[in-house]
């Protein structure tokens, strides 16, 4: 029964695009060496091509003569309920959908989106890890995967405004920019919210938050449940329409940027004339336009490095902007980790992995490689533009006993404002 | 004078002693400390105004590392937050000895 739900979803997902991707694979195995989970563990089941196996089987056994023959004579196996459970742990706990595998594939196969399709079958079959389901249900029921209610959100925003002495506008009609934060920032990194408020204010931006569209994270997207993905996106889009804003600015969150910037346009109607942007881009634009001034060398006191977030840098291409800012703030102390930019190593916490307790050993095994990268350049601090990465780094450096300071770029920029 | 002091208690455990009303600067620096600190925290509220503490402890709760609180009569409800992957265990104890004993076992 579970299997049939998954197969139905896979069959629905397999259009010309997915078929061409699956047919193009030559099983060369190059994607394996790009996968941080495979690199960290050596487990062959974590190779990206193996993660797409349920989708491949569904495609071949349903749509190709060779696949049907192989199945008929017992050369290939049908997907079973047990297989689904097994692959569920692989695609949810050992994959962050970072899509680095696609960067090395000589055939240009987009493995990340294919693995997302595999997840969608798991979601339809109800074989998603319990922790991820619990967070998704909280987002559905109370509006936040961390269980932040409307009341808690309003109280906490008020507390941040009072204690960090910043203005956090709420539900301002006809503001230019709707800023949507993550629950992680709200609960764990409130200084990031204060920092962004300070930057927006200094730039003279007419901005607002929304009490209705208050959560930018999308656990429906992590699960790969399209209906829930749309529901969570629509809460923010509806708020943007109601407030009449010109753009939605995603705060420090990678998957949210992906969901709003690209996924939404492929699965639903988006509000017309509302741009989607990310805080890293906006800060850079403000700085280049002279709307904010930053103290040169404000962080030139120990090696600072930058962690590229998969969805913002590799996918989103916002690569030079944070670097230009960092080279201004730390002209002699900024150093790159290797590899970096499009080829950077994922932190290991994305794609919902950080929310699944059973995946902790795996995500820390992966993070060990980031620790090595930071050690190689003698990093004293590391900064990033994704709060999910930041939480993974915060927990990761603690896990490994590293004393590298973990920072959000907005926080650094706000402290360097002149 | 800051409204809190930090002193080592044991390997991996710091005592955070509340010594007076919080200013915004104190709140910001305590938030910064909690963001960077990866050890355990013994929160000593001896002599503190429980009402004044409550509001801030409630707001600091999601950011806290593993922590044991003692020294003031607080409503345990202020420590309740939704169980989630980002949150650490924080408990209230009647005495320092009990708080420290629990903390050492975490």
Give me the DSSP letters along A278-295. Answer: EHHHHHHHHHHTTSS-B-
Compute the distance between CA of residue A365 and CA of residue A39 in angstroms, rounded to an integer.
Answer: 10
Asked if A21 and A114 count as a contact pair (C-beta separation under 8 A), the reply is yes
Identify which of A174, A172, A178, A186 has the alpha carbon closest to the alpha carbon of residue A143: A186
Residues of A in contact with B32 (CB under 8 A): 191
Dist CA A88 CA A82 (whole Å)? 10
> How far lies A51's CA from each of A67, A100, A241, in Å?
18, 14, 39
pLDDT of A406 strictly over 80? yes
pLDDT at B1: 57
According to the model, what pLDDT value does residue B95 have? Answer: 95
Q: What is the mean pLDDT of residues A248-255?
A: 96
Task: Give the minimum alpha-carbon distance from A355 to chain B in angstroms, rounded to a whole number.
Answer: 5
Residues of B with CB under 8 A from a CB of A: 22, 24, 27-28, 31-32, 35-36, 38, 55, 59, 62-63, 81-87
pLDDT of A248 strictly over 90: yes
CB contact under 8 A, A406 and B36: yes
Cβ contacts of A167 on chain B, cutoff 8 Å:
none
Q: Quick one: average pLDDT of A355-382?
A: 97
Structure tokens at A279: 């805080």
Residue of A130, A142, A152, A190 to mutate when probing chain B, most B C-beta within 10 A: A190
* Stretch A44-50: mean pLDDT: 96
CB contact under 8 A, A391 and B86: yes
Flag if A190 and B82 touch (Cβ within 8 Å).
Answer: no
Whole-number Å distance between alpha carbons of A229 and A99:
19
A271 touches chain B (CB under 8 A): no
Cβ-Cβ contacts under 8 Å, A163 against chain B? 22, 24, 27-28, 59
CATH assignment of A132-288, given 3.30.160, 3.30.2320, 3.40.1010, 3.40.50? 3.40.50
pLDDT digits (tens, 9 = 90+) for A310-352: 999 999 999 999 999 999 999 999 999 999 999 999 999 999 9
What ipTM did this prediction achieve? 0.93
- Residues contacting residue A234 through CB under 8 Å, at least 6 positions apart: A268
- The side-by-side arrangement of strands in the sheet containing A247-250 is A207-208, A177-180, A247-250, A275-278
Q: Which of B27, B62, B87 sits opposite A163 (nearest CB)?
A: B27
Residue bearing the bigger pLDDT, A5 or A199: A199
- 134-163 in chain A: CB under 8 A from chain B: 135, 138, 145-148, 156, 159, 162-163
Confidence at residue A396, expressed as pLDDT on a 0 to 100 scale:
96
Residues in B closer than 8 angstroms to A156, CB to CB, are 59
pLDDT band with cut points at 50, 70 and 90 for residue A158: very high
- Cβ distance B85 to A131 less than 8 Å, yes or no, reads yes
Q: Is a pLDDT exceeding 90 seen at residue A8?
A: no
Domain locations along chain A: 2-128, 132-288, 304-415
Q: Quick check: A100 and A346 in contact, CB under 8 A?
A: yes
Cβ neighbours, 10 Å, residue A5: 17
Note whether B13 and B40 are within 8 A (CB): yes
Q: In what order do the strands lie in the sheet with B90-92?
A: B4-10, B13-18, B40-44, B67-70, B90-92
Chain B positions touching A187 (Cβ under 8 A) are 62-63, 81, 86-87
Q: What is the pLDDT of residue A1?
A: 65
Q: Do A147 and B84 touch (CB under 8 A)?
A: yes
CB contact under 8 A, A187 and B63: yes
Does the pLDDT of residue B60 top 80, yes or no? yes
**Chain B residues whose beta carbon lies within 8 Å of the beta carbon of residue A349:** none
User: Would you list the DSSP string of B54-65?
Assistant: HHHHHHHGGG--
Does the structure show a pLDDT above 60 at A213?
yes
Tell me the percentage of chain A whose pLDDT exceeds 70. 100
CATH code 1.10.1060 for A2-128? yes
Q: Which chain A residues are within 8 Å of B82, Cβ to Cβ?
A: 138, 146-148
Residue A287 contacts residue A327 (beta carbons within 8 Å):
no
Task: Choose from A155, A181, A188 for mutation: most chain B CBs within 10 A.
Answer: A188
Would the pLDDT of B20 be above 90?
no
What's the pLDDT band for A223 if we cut at 50, 70, 90? very high
Q: Is the pLDDT confidence value at B38 over 90? A: no
Percentage, residues of chain A above pLDDT 90: 92
List of chain A residues whose C-beta atoms are within 8 Å of the C-beta of residue B11: none
pTM attached to this predicted model: 0.95
Does B86 sit within 8 Å of A184, measured CB to CB?
yes
pLDDT (average), residues A126-134: 96
């Amino acid at each position: 029964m579970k299997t049939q739900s998954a197969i139905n979803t896979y069959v629905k997902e397999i259009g010309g695009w997915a078929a061409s991707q699956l047919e193009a694979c030559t099983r060369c195995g190059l994607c394996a060496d790009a996968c941080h989970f495979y690199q960290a563990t050596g487990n062959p089941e974590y190779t990206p091509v193996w993660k797409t196996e349920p989708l491949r089987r569904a495609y071949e056994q349903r749509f190709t003569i060779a696949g049907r023959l192989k199945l008929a004579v017992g050369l290939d196996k049908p997907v079973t309920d047990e297989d689904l459970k097994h692959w569920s742990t692989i695609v949810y706990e050992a994959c962050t959908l970072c899509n680095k595998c696609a960067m090395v594939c000589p055939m240009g196969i987009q493995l990340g989106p294919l693995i997302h399709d595999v997840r969608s079958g798991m979601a339809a079959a109800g074989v998603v890890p319990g922790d991820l389901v619990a967070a998704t249900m909280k987002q559905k029921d109370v509006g936040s995967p961390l269980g932040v209610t409307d009341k808690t959100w309003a109280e906490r925003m008020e507390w941040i405004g009072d204690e960090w002495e910043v203005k956090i506008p709420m539900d301002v009609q006809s503001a230019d920019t709707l800023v949507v934060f993550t629950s992680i920032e709200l609960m764990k990194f409130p200084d990031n919210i204060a920092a962004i408020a300070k930057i927006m204010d200094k730039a003279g931006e007419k901005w607002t938050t929304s009490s209705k569209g208050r959560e930018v994270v999308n656990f429906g997207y992590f699960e790969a449940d399209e209906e829930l993905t749309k529901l969570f996106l629509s809460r923010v889009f509806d708020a943007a329409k109601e407030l009449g804003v010109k753009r939605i600015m995603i705060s420090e969150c990678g998957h949210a940027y992906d969901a709003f910037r690209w996924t939404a346009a492929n699965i639903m109607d988006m509000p017309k004339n509302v741009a989607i942007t990310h805080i890293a881009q906006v800060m850079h634009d403000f700085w280049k336009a002279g709307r904010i001034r930053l103290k040169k060398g404000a962080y030139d006191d120990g090696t600072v490095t930058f962690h590229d977030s998969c969805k913002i840098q590799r996918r989103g291409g916002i690569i030079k902007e944070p670097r230009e800012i960092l080279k201004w703030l730390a002209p002699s102390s900024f150093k790159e980790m290797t590899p970096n930019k499009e080829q950077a190593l994922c932190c290991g916490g994305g794609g919902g992995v950080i929310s699944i307790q059973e995946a902790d050993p795996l995500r820390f095994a992966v993070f060990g490689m980031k620790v090595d990268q930071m050690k190689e350049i003698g990093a004293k601090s590391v900064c990033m533009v994704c709060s999910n990465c930041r939480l993974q780094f915060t927990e990761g450096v603690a896990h490994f006993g590293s004393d590298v300071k973990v920072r959000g770029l907005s926080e650094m920029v706000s402290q360097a404002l002149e | 004078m800051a409204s809190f002091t930090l002193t080592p208690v044991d390997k991996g455990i710091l005592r955070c002693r509340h010594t007076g009303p919080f200013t915004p600067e104190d709140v910001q620096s305590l938030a910064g400390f909690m963001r960077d600190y990866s050890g355990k925290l013994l929160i000593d509220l001896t002599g503190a105004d429980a009402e004044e503490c409550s509001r801030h402890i409630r707001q600091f709760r999601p950011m806290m590392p593993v922590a044991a609180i003692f020294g003031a009569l607080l409503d345990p409800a202020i420590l309740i937050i939704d169980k989630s992957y980002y949150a650490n265990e924080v408990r209230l104890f009647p005495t320092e000895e009990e708080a420290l004993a629990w903390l050492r076992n975490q």
